[in-house]
Amino acid sequence: MQTLINLKDIVKTYQIGTVEVQALRGVDILIHSNEYISIMGPSGSGKSTLMNIIGCLDTPTSGIYELEGELVHTMDDNKLAEVRNRKVGFVFQTFNLLPRATALHNVELPLIYSGISAAKRKVIAEDAIEKVGLTDRMHHRPSELSGGQRQRVAIARALVNNPSLILADEPTGNLDSTTGKEIMAIFDDLHNAGNTIILITHEKIVADHADRIVHILDGHIAEDIQVKNN
Amino acid sequence: MISFIISLRENILIALRALAQNKMRAILTTLGIVIGVLTVVSVASIISGLNTGFASQISALGSNTLYVHKYPWIIQDDFFKYRNRPDITMKDAEYLKEHSRLAEAISAASGTFRDIKYRNNSLTGIGVSGVTMETEIIEGFSIADGRYFTQIEIDHNKASVVIGNEIKEKLFNHKNPLGERIKVGDFSYTVIGVMEKRGSLLGHNLDSEVYVPLGTIFKNFGFHRSIRILIKVPSPEMIEQVIDEIHFLMRVSRKLKPQEEDNFSINQQEMLTNMYKQLTNGLYTAAFGIGALSLIVGGIGIMNIMLVSVAERRKEIGIRKALGAKQRVITFQFIIESIIICSVGGIIAILLSFLMSLVIDKVTPFPSNVPIWSVLMGLGFSSLVGLFFGIYPARRAAKLDPIECLRYE
Ligand SMILES: Nc1ncnc2c1ncn2[C@@H]1O[C@H](COP(=O)(O)OP(=O)(O)O)[C@@H](O)[C@H]1O
Ligand SMILES: [Mg+2]
């Protein structure tokens, strides 16, 4: 198995005025390609902070982060953007689609930022939309789509650039349980198709889709269990 | 490079979309730009129109003609200083005629205003000019019907008259005026010729005048009037030389001592052209001043609206950055947006100035046209304002923290 992510002694400290908040207090994780991982923990435990660091949206206060052999913790803003564009697909709890753009345009965005021509982009994006079963809705705006459909658009957008990992922060948090199940089925399919998936959730039922569950508590890893073998 | 072109295209689309969503705000923001560009382009088009008008107005003066007058055309100091000058007399004119070696032709002229009458038709306050043989050459008009005076008519102060084209129309309708007798003041004159249409000179209508022999005007309307002397210069290069000669001869004719000031003025078309240029330069300066000021005010408005836009669209910026937009790309997006807003303002202003120019042309006596350079300059400056005042908000957008932005609802 190939090492994808190597986090060593990751610390993240936030400074609020004179008060220091330690969101992560020394996290070590090793993640391989094609793993399906859930990160669980109560609110405020540091899940989102960890996701931001893994997703290259933020850099740790100290510690080492290696992503496919590249040292992320030393990168500047522009280099991080490039890594996010090539290697990370985000799925957020609140979807984070551009409200005024069509589903297709939303899915095209990562391709725009990697400089792919309009004609090629359209083909690739339409393909990704087909994978999440929304071909008939691709010219609709987010406001014309249901929550589940919006999250499908977000998933299509996350996988359109063929990323090394898909990072989902509470992807079912804003959905009813039936729709949530449908979305989780898509993640399962994506995993079976060879994608690496990191799910952040506080719901056991969601976490159970993964092969490995990491429990985080007060900025520490409390438990790291391989629940299934793939 | 390819990705640059892609993002240029993308950014223009994004900017247009954002503009379409906030039409009213965008229009209000561009007001400063519109006013700035409108001022410059309108003034340019008015001046351009005036230029055409002015050129045709003074062309009848002839660039190769000098005018010896009691008064200078342009009086910059005290008018009363010139009032005590002696009148220009026939003696001066004859002296110049006799002694000038450089002038091509010299004529004296004098004028008055009289009512003229043909049967039951009459016209009031018509310019009556006393002329000589040389007047025809110097003023360079031609005769449409009949003929100009003969030397004998001039020398013997005959009661003959050459009438302007409009006089003929108003007095005679379609009747042939040649050989008819008209009254100029209380005196009877025979019409011998009709001038071709000449247009107007400095606002006075050359087609509504009549010409009579110079001696006749003195005989009928009195001797004690200041005349003017017209001098035709053989070629433009000789103007300075001829001025020197005339200046010298006039001083001799007037027996001025070396320390005495001139008591006559030598006028020429160039003086008017120069004054006109000064005037229009002043107008241009004022217009550019107002234009620049409005553009700066407009630019600050744009910067402000762009800062608001950046703040409002933090979420969008966060999403774009999360998906891999680099700082350069975000900067570019907002600068393009700012340039487009300003260019739209510029285009609105140019459309308005075309409209205004059309109205000025139709409604006022001034011709008006929008010169192409002012259009290009208007567009260029408005885009530059967009670029310049867009940089700061765009840099701010680019440097925003994506996590903070994503948290914003
Ligand atoms: N930008 C920030 N500034 C200050 N404190 C923060 C910031 N982000 C997170 N924190 C703090 O760090 C801790 C972990 O937060 P977070 O990672 O969002 O937890 P979770 O996602 O598990 O709810 C919390 O105490 C939170 O208040
Ligand atoms: Mg969280």
Q: What would the pLDDT profile of A145-172 be if each residue is shown by its tens digit?
A: 999 999 999 999 999 999 999 999 999 9
* Residue B258 identity (one-letter amino acid): P
Across the interface, do B6 and A117 touch by the CB < 8 Å criterion? yes
Please tell me the distance in Å from A116's CA to the nearest CA on chain B.
7
A42 lines ligand 1 (CB under 6 A): no
Rounded Cα distance, B129 and A162, in Å: 95
CATH no. for residue A41? 3.40.50.300
Residue A166 CA to residue A54 CA, distance in Å, equals 10
Per DSSP (E only), the strands in B7-87 are: 65-69
Q: Which residues contact A51 (CB under 8 A, 6 or more apart)?
A: A39, A167, A169, A198, A200
CA of residue B65 to ligand 1 center, whole Å: 90
- A16-25 confidence digits (pLDDT tens): 889 999 999 9
Tell me the domain boundaries of chain B: 2-57+273-407, 65-268
What pLDDT, on a 0 to 100 scale, did the predictor assign at position B160? 93
Question: Which residues sit opposite B184 in a β-bridge?
Answer: B116, B187
Per DSSP, which regions of B105-153 are E strands? 105-118, 121-131, 143-146
Phi (first) and psi of residue A102, to 5 degrees: -70, 165
For residue A183, what pLDDT is reported?
Answer: 94
ipTM of the complex in this document: 0.95
Q: Which residue pairs from B279-283 have beta carbons closer than 8 angstroms and sit at least 24 positions apart in sequence?
A: B280/B47, B280/B50, B280/B51, B283/B43, B283/B47
Residue B70: the pLDDT is 86
The whole-number pLDDT of residue B174 equals 79
Chain centroid, CA B183 distance in Å: 38
Residue B236's DSSP bridge partners are none
- For residue A226, how many C-alpha atoms fall within 13 Å in the half-sphere facing its CB? 8
Diameter of chain B by CA atoms?
105
* Pair of tokens at residue B330: 């975000």
Query: What is the per-residue pLDDT across A82-98, written as a single tens digit (0 to 9) for each?
Result: 999 999 999 999 999 99
What angle, rounded to 10 degrees, do the helices at B31-59 and B327-363 form?
Answer: 40
For an interface test with B, which of A12, A49, A57, A86 has the most B Cβ atoms less than 10 Å from its Cβ? Answer: A57
Q: Which contiguous run of DSSP H or E holds residue B55?
A: helix B31-59
Indicate the number of domains in chain A.
Answer: 1
Residue of minimum CA distance from atom 14 in ligand 1: A46
Report helix, strand or coil for B201: strand
Q: Could you give the 3-state DSSP secondary structure of residue B216?
A: helix
pLDDT at B282: 85
Beta carbons of A115 and B6 less than 8 Å apart: yes
Contact list in A for residue B323 (CB cut-off 8 A) is 84-85, 90, 109-110, 113, 157
Mean pLDDT of A40-69: 94
Q: pTM here? A: 0.74
Query: Percent of chain A scored above 70 by pLDDT?
Result: 100
A·B CB contacts under 8 A: 67
**pLDDT given at position A9:** 96
The reported pLDDT for the residue numbered A228 is 83
**Domain assignment of residue A207, given as a range:** 34-59+76-226
Q: Quote the pLDDT of residue A140.
A: 95
Which candidate, B231, B251, B253, places its Cα nearest to that of B242? Answer: B231
Residues of A near B (CB-CB distance < 8 A)?
52, 55, 57-58, 77-78, 81-82, 84-86, 90, 92, 94, 96-98, 100, 109-110, 112-118, 157, 161
- Residue A72 predicted with pLDDT over 90: yes
pLDDT band at A121 (very low <50, low <70, confident <90, very high): very high
Burial B131-147 (b: 16+ CB within 10 A, else e): bbbbbbebbebeeebbe
Contact criterion met (CB below 8 Å) for A31 and A166: no
The pLDDT score that the predictor gives to residue B315 is 94
**Residue A7 within a domain:** no
User: A96, A97, A120, A121: which to substitute to probe chain B, counting the most B Cβ within 10 Å?
Assistant: A96
The CA R_g of chain B, rounded to the nearest whole Å, is 33
* CA A49 to ligand 1 centroid distance, Å: 6
A54 close to ligand 1 (CB < 6 Angstrom): no
Asked if residues B6 and B325 have their Cβ atoms less than 8 Å apart, the reply is: no
Can you tell me which residue has the tokens 């002043």? B282
- Kindly give the number of the ligand 1 atom that is closest to the alpha carbon of A46: 17
- Kindly state whether residue A14 falls inside one of the protein's structural domains: no
**Smallest-distance ligand from the CA of A39:** 1
Task: Give the separation between CA A53 and CA B345, rounded to whole angstroms.
Answer: 44
The amino acid occupying position A59 is T
pLDDT tens for chain B, 409 residues long, are: 455 665 677 777 777 777 777 777 777 778 888 888 888 888 888 887 777 777 766 666 667 888 888 888 877 777 777 888 888 888 898 898 899 899 888 988 888 889 999 988 889 889 898 999 888 888 878 888 899 999 999 889 999 999 998 899 888 887 898 999 999 989 999 999 999 888 777 667 888 889 999 989 888 888 667 788 989 888 878 888 999 999 999 999 989 888 888 888 888 877 777 888 888 888 888 888 888 888 888 899 889 889 988 998 899 999 999 999 999 989 988 998 899 888 888 898 889 988 888 888 888 777 777 888 888 988 898 999 999 999 999 999 999 999 999 988 7
- What does the mean pLDDT of chain A come to? 94
Closest by alpha carbon to A157, among B320, B339, B352? B320
Sign of CA dihedral A176, A181, A184, A186: negative
Q: How confident is the model at residue A230 (pLDDT cuts 50, 70, 90)?
A: low
Residues A37-50, mean pLDDT to the nearest whole number: 93
